[in-house]
């Protein structure tokens, strides 16, 4: 589904990603871990098409298409979803109105009829249960005055509505208490299927207790320096990231 080959990216001339290789197959859950500043969020942003990042080398194919050739909205319509670490507020625009615009633009791209208000509302009702989100929240301005947990829940709710084939969760666990974390993880798990893949970007192992990854990759200084299964995450939780740094330093010598 997603193939990343030797991806290099920089921001304002500073290289952040320095040769990422990753293969994600349908149905898989990959966790990207790593210390602060290792390039985790940059990877998520580059995949979603954020313009501040300049791709200097490498290629990314998504469902056979050159992802880097597509603009951000085309990527979204093709099925790439980014759950933001810091979802923005859009005053005066309700979540409902926002999502309906999004859903119908995606549907138009896919050659489907737009959903009318009634059909859209029933879709919303169905998905609301997944993340236990209150309808009142959805009639409020998008993310405005939402608590950290509400914002993250709303991200997963949007994911449920838009039904992406590749979901990238960027530090979705940050700022969540354990109950909210469970709700969010539960939502993500219910959306899993054999066709859909997930990339979970996280600093801590905590979230991976609830969203079980098939693969865990450690990102350090813009490269994936170690890959393994969920046990790698446990090991990181126990020992921290320093031993990885040492290992990298030793290999370099």
* Number of neighbouring beta carbons within 10 Å of residue 218: 25
Backbone angles phi and psi of 6, in degrees to 5: 45, 50
Four-point Cα dihedral 162, 100, 69, 83, nearest 10:
-50
Q: Which of 77, 127, 203, 226 binds another protein (CB under 8 A)?
A: 77
- Residue closer to another protein (CB basis): 99 or 169: 99
Closest approach, Cβ 84 to another protein, in A, equals: 7
Backbone angles phi and psi of 12, in degrees to 5: 45, 45
Q: Which of residues 166-225 bind another protein (CB under 8 A)?
A: none
Contacts of 143 (CB under 8 A, 6+ apart): 87, 88, 89, 90, 95, 151, 154
Q: Which of residues 97-126 bind another protein (CB under 8 A)?
A: 97-99, 101-103, 105-106, 109
Strand pairing of 65-66 and 53-62?
A: antiparallel
Q: Which of 53, 84, 215, 220 binds another protein (CB under 8 A)?
A: 84
Looking at 84-92, 183-191, 231-239, 243-251, which segment touches another protein (CB under 8 A)? 84-92
- Residue closer to another protein (CB basis): 139 or 227: 139
Q: Which residues bind another protein (CB under 8 A)?
A: 48-51, 71-73, 75-77, 81-82, 84, 87-88, 90-93, 97-99, 101-103, 105-106, 109, 141, 158, 162
């Amino acid at each position: 589904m997603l193939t990343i080959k030797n991806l290099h990216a920089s921001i304002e001339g500073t290289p952040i990603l320095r040769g990422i290789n990753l293969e994600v197959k349908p149905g898989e859950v990959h966790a990207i871990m790593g210390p602060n500043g290792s390039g985790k969020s940059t990877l998520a942003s580059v995949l979603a098409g954020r313009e501040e990042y300049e791709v200097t080398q490498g290629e990314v194919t998504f469902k056979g298409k050159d992802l880097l050739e597509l603009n951000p909205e085309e990527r979204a319509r093709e099925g790439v979803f980014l759950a933001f670490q810091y979802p923005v507020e859009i005053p005066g625009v309700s979540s409902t109105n926002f999502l309906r615009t999004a859903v119908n633009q995606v549907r138009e791209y896919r050659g489907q009829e737009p959903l009318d208000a009634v059909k859209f509302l029933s879709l919303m009702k169905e998905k609301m249960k997944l993340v236990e989100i209150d309808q009142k929240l959805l009639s409020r301005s998008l993310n405005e005055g939402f608590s950290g947990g509400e914002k993250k829940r709303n991200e997963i709710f949007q994911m449920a509505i838009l039904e992406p084939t590749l979901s990238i969760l960027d530090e979705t666990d940050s700022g969540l208490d354990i109950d909210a974390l469970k709700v969010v993880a539960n939502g993500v798990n219910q959306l899993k299927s054999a066709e859909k893949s997930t990339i979970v970007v996280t600093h801590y192992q905590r979230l991976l207790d609830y969203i079980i990854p098939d693969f865990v990759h450690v990102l350090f200084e813009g490269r994936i320096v170690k890959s393994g299964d969920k046990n790698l995450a446990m090991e990181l939780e126990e020992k921290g990231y320093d031993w990885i740094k040492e290992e990298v330093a030793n290999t370099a010598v």
